[in-house]
Each structure stands twice: as C-alpha cells, then as structure tokens.
Structure 1
C-alpha cells in the first residue's frame, strides 16, 4: 500500500522520513522557508496566512496523513493552518503543538492529545504535545 504524507511546517519530520528511503510512501514538505526548495518537486511553498494558496497539482484530500507543526502558539495560526490540513488530508492528522492549544486543536481538527510526548531539539518554553485523530499507537503506556 503506497501512502502520501504531507509535512506542513514540519521540516525535521520531513527530513527524517526522507532518510528512510522507503518505496511505500512519498513525502512532501509544505514550508515557508525556501531553503527547502533544494528538495525539488517535494517542496511546496506554504504561508499559513494564505492557507489554501497551493499549487494546482496539490489536489484536495490527496494525502493519507498530514503531519503539522504550527510555527506559532496562537488561535489565529492554528485556525488558518487547520484549513490547510483539512484540505490536504484524506482523514489522518498528526499535530504537534503546545499543550495550551489542546482545546482549540480538538475544536478545529477533532484531534486528541496523546500520552506520547515529542522531544524538540531546542528547549521550548512551553509544553510540546502530540495530537491525533486516529488510533496511532502513540497512546500506549511505555
């Protein structure tokens, strides 16, 4: 089964997935930072302020899963990014953002906080959490 994965403002996840060199999925990076244009066709310029300003080649509901990491902890940013996520996904959403966004994330995307706690390479001043809308295995006790 071949899967399409969209990484929205989640470049570290995109880079990690690329290093796996798997043939059962393709991965795209939706990113504001044009340095990622080095990845060619897999790079899609993305500005959350224009959530649906995407190239024609990106069809609605054309990704099996959308992995998103909003750049700002604000209702405005998550709200706009949610439009993009809902446009792209066929169903599955994995969102990484601050714990303070739990209620807003549930309301906008129907995601629930996981027990799994993602680690950030930089020390963040807020509690960083993972949210999903499907049975991901990220809720099991470790």
Structure 2
C-alpha cells in the first residue's frame, strides 16, 4: 500500500450497513412502483389465440379510451365488454380524464380477475347472465368487441350491450358485420381504422350509434 492510500476515506461497518439497507428499500420501492404502473399496460396479459384474443395497439387503445371518457362525461360509467385492452388503458391513468370516470371489464378470461371488483366474468353464450349488482342501463357508454365474427356471437353480445347501456354504443368488429351490426344496434361504420398489435386477416372497424369524431376521422392516430 502506498502512502497515498492511507488518505482514502473508509466507511465504518455501521455506515455500510445503513447504506445497504437504504439501497434495498429504494430498489424494493422502485420495483413495486414499476409493477403497479405496468399491471394495466396493454399486453401485460398476453394474448391467447385460443380465446380469439387480439389486443389493440397502444395508440388505438388510447384513442378509444379518450372516446369513451369523452362520451361518458365526468362521473360517468364505462363498460368494456370483451375489450380488456381499452379497460387497461383507462386504468393506467395516462389518458386525460380517466380519473373522472369508472370502468368495468366484462371478460371470459379469468386472468383479468386480478383487477379486482371491476372484473365481471362474462360468457357471450349467456348474454344476460350477469351479477345481480349489475343494474340494467347503468353504463353511460358500452364499448364491445365480440370475440368471434359470427352472427351468433354478435347477436348475443348485442343483447348484453342493450342491457347495459343507457344509450351510447361503441362496437368494434369486422367490417363484414356492418349490416348485422346496424340491424341489431343501429350503429354506423366509422372512418377511423383501429389497429392491433398483430395484423388481422379480416378488415376491422369501429361502429357508433351517436355523433362521434370517429365517424369522419381517417387513420389510426388520435385526431388533433
């Protein structure tokens, strides 16, 4: 050891232990914060193709979240029927106004039960088999994304939508379902083109039964 090494300050064992404890607490706190903020991220729950799950892109999920927040209004209630990625975007708290509305996700996939009381198990084969606490016409807007492109599936989901909604409906499904969607829910096809994290083989569109900016907007990015 050189003479200069004698001048290097050293820390006592007590100080080192205190610093290590502080470091561990900081790391634990940071990890907890990250877990909490990411649990609602789109894709936090992986898609399961066996249940015909295809998550929206982050941009589309955000735009649809903005749309339902606007239409629900302050203090409004939003139902996401088989549309968990929009529910996740609402709960992330990154979309303006999300803290002024409440949202519920109706889902067959019980992995979403991790979201607590705002998860309601939903099987479209039993469209009106809902908990007693879910009152008819108790949601200001219902956003629905039927899992299958079939007349049977859309017809049954439409029964759920009409049971839940006070009036406003935002439907996301294949373009080939346009005529049936209009007959069942009196909705019009929007110009807005929703996107998914994975490309779908069928053209996918949004439909609404109320005046919406999505009707005349073209593209997949949020309008200015």
Aligned-partner Cα distance in 2 for 1:141–1:7? 22
Give the structure-1-normalised TM-score.
0.97
Q: Does 1:57 pair with 2:130?
A: no
Aligned-partner Cα distance in 2 for 1:90–1:122? 33
State the aligned residue count: 142
Q: Does 1:43 pair with 2:116?
A: no
What is the CA RMSD across the aligned residues, in angstroms?
A: 1.0
Aligned-partner Cα distance in 2 for 1:121–1:15? 15
Q: Where does structure 1 differ by over 6 angstroms across 4 or more consecutive aligned residues?
A: none
Q: Which has the higher helix share?
A: 2
Q: Find 1:87's aligned residue among 136, 148, 163.
A: 163
Higher relative contact order (CA 8 A, sep 6+): 1
Aligned-partner Cα distance in 2 for 1:111–1:123? 25
Pair member with larger Rg? 2
Aligned-partner Cα distance in 2 for 1:81–1:141? 26
Q: Which has the higher strand share?
A: 1
Aligned-partner Cα distance in 1 for 2:217–2:200? 24
List aligned pairs for 1:1-142, cutoff 5 A: 1-20=74-93, 22-142=98-218
Task: Kindly state the Cα deviation for residue 23 of structure 1 after the two structures are TM-superposed.
Answer: 2.5
